[in-house]
Amino acid sequence: MVTKLLNEQMEFKIAELDGRLGYYNTLTPLYAAFHEDDKTFSLMWTEYDDSFPAFYDAYIADQQRNGRNHGILAKKNELPPPNAYTVSCIPWISFSSFAVHSYENKPYFFPSVEAGKFYEKDGSTFLPLSITCHHAATDGWHVSCFLQALQAEADSFEKYLSEWMDTQA
């Protein structure tokens, strides 16, 4: 849902290449594969597909092929694509604030999105979510539109499951 919605707003896809400002048609999620054996992480990515079943199947295939590979990059002899943005999950903790800043990676205009541990409160389930953006590319309005759309998608998540289940029948 996060990648789908980021891809719907040009402001989240802005990038600089050879001194020229532009934007990518799509973003590719760059995420961490956790290694239970030694508690380390390796970077993975799965090319985005508008079709949730196709994207999910590609993600599972990437995990099966590369998820156990240790090192900075799980996909050996490959670099992440230039349209890769960071999305991650910290399932061990809930948080009220979290920020990732990419100081060495200048200029970097893509957002970073982090989710935390689910928790229940007053009969509702909550998921902490943080989005860190470059203010030159995005403003509060863009983040607000993204978060409202994300909530709407989360409220109707069943459509993703039914779409995927239809491909399994």
Q: What's the CATH code of the domain at 49? A: 3.30.559.10
d(CA 159, CA 169): 16
For the segment 11-29, the average pLDDT, to the nearest whole number, is 94
In this predicted structure, what is the pLDDT of residue 104?
66
d(CA 15, CA 12): 9
In this predicted structure, what is the pLDDT of residue 45?
97
Query: CB–CB of 32/10 below 8 Å?
Result: no
pTM for this model (two decimals) = 0.90
pLDDT at residue 148 greater than cutoff 70: yes
The number of domains in the chain is 1
Kindly provide the b/e burial profile for residues 82-118, where b requires at least 16 CB atoms within 10 angstroms of the residue's own CB.
ebbbbbbeeeeeeeeebeeeeeeeeebbbbbbbbbee
Structural domain boundaries enclosing 10: 2-168
pLDDT at residue 21 greater than cutoff 90: yes
Note if 35 is an active site residue: no
Which member of 35, 70, 101, 135 is catalytic? Answer: 135
